[in-house]
Each structure stands twice: as structure tokens, then as C-alpha cells.
Amino acid sequence: MSKPELRAAMREARKAFLLGLTTPERVTMERSLHAQLKPLLESAQVVGAYLPVGSEIDPLGAEFDMEKTAFPAFSSDPEGKIFRFRLGPPIAVGPHGIPQPGPMDPEVSPDLVLVPLIAVDGRGTRLGQGGGHYDRALARLKERGSRFIGLGWPMQRIDFDLPLESHDIALDGYASPAGLEMFR
């Protein structure tokens, strides 16, 4: 399958997975994810997080330290292709309709980045939404030594190799309600 075909199939699988969960089951699973992440979050100086869209798993638990949490904030470039992490509450509407910190909030380089995804393989290859936003942001942060942990539902960890392109940035690990797997 090509990346677009895999992306479409995995999006549908993720939606179907969520439709099979009751609200209490989803809450329990997201709490389990937060428990898996707790040691990583506690040891990080600055955490790059995200607000979930659609069927993405929610990385923000009740114990999340908002004082050290940064969110993607797109620049004012006309195409909205570049984002940096800003330390601040996501209250401004960004170019993609997703809340983000304001332009006056400080730009930071998180040492731990929680990365949304559609699928991940055992090499840490991530299949994202297809816009390349995270690959561009992670490439900059990789040079600074940041760690990248993909987040998702258990069914998003696949047992075959995803197509890998030169611009793809590998994840250091994958966390789901089922556990934390480190790739490097």
C-alpha cells in the first residue's frame, strides 16, 4: 500500500476502534496512557504536547503540568506550514482551526515532544497526517537532542514496516494505554 492508502485505511480503523468504545472505556484508556507517560513527563524540563483532533488520543491528563507544557503554534506565513512550540495556553485560533498559544507566548525547544500519529511501526517510523508539519518541526528539535514519543491507541502500533522517506523523522518511542515501547 502507498502512504495515502495506508493513511486512509488507518484513519478508518482508528475511527472504528473509537466507535467500539464506551465513554467510560475511553476515559479509562486515556488515564492508562497518562500513567504510562508520567515518568517521562516528570523528568522533562519542557514538554511539547498537542490538542487532540478527531479520533486522536488525548495526551492531556489531570496531572499535566501546564507551567512546562508547550503547544504547536503556526507562524504567520501564508501557507501555515511552519510551527514552533510556544509555552502558553492554546487559546488563539491557528491557521488550521486548532487552538494554539498566542504570538507573544515564548518560543521554546521542548526536550520531550508528544507526537500525534496515524500509525507507527517497530522501527519508530511514524505515519502522520501527510502535511509534513511535525517532520519539519521535529527535524529542528532533533538537532537539540529532544526525544519524540508517539501517542496513540493500541491498534495504531502496526506489525509491518511503514514506507520510509528521507524527510521522515523517527520516533524514540511509542506510548499507548497498553504500555510504553522505546525504539532507541
CA distance 86 to 89: 9
Helix residue spans in the chain (DSSP H)? 3-19, 23-43, 133-142
CA distance 142 to 40: 17
Residue 79 in this model has a pLDDT that exceeds 60: no
Single out the residue of 68, 63, 70 nearest to residue 33, CA to CA: 63
CA distance 36 to 175: 7
Sign of the C-alpha dihedral, residues 83, 114, 44, 27? Answer: positive
Q: What angle do CA 59, 60, 62 make, to 5 degrees?
A: 140
Q: Which of 73-82, 85-94, 169-178 is most confident? A: 169-178
CB 154 within 8 A of CB 176: yes
pLDDT mean across residues, the chain = 91
Domains of the chain with bracketed CATH: 3-182 (3.40.50.10420)
Provide the terminal-to-terminal Cα distance of the chain, rounded to the nearest Å.
27
Give residue 129's pLDDT. 86
Residue 76 in this model has a pLDDT that exceeds 90: no
The confidence band for 1, taking pLDDT boundaries of 50, 70 and 90, is confident
Give residue 62's pLDDT. 56
Give residue 77's pLDDT. 63
The confidence band for 57, taking pLDDT boundaries of 50, 70 and 90, is very high
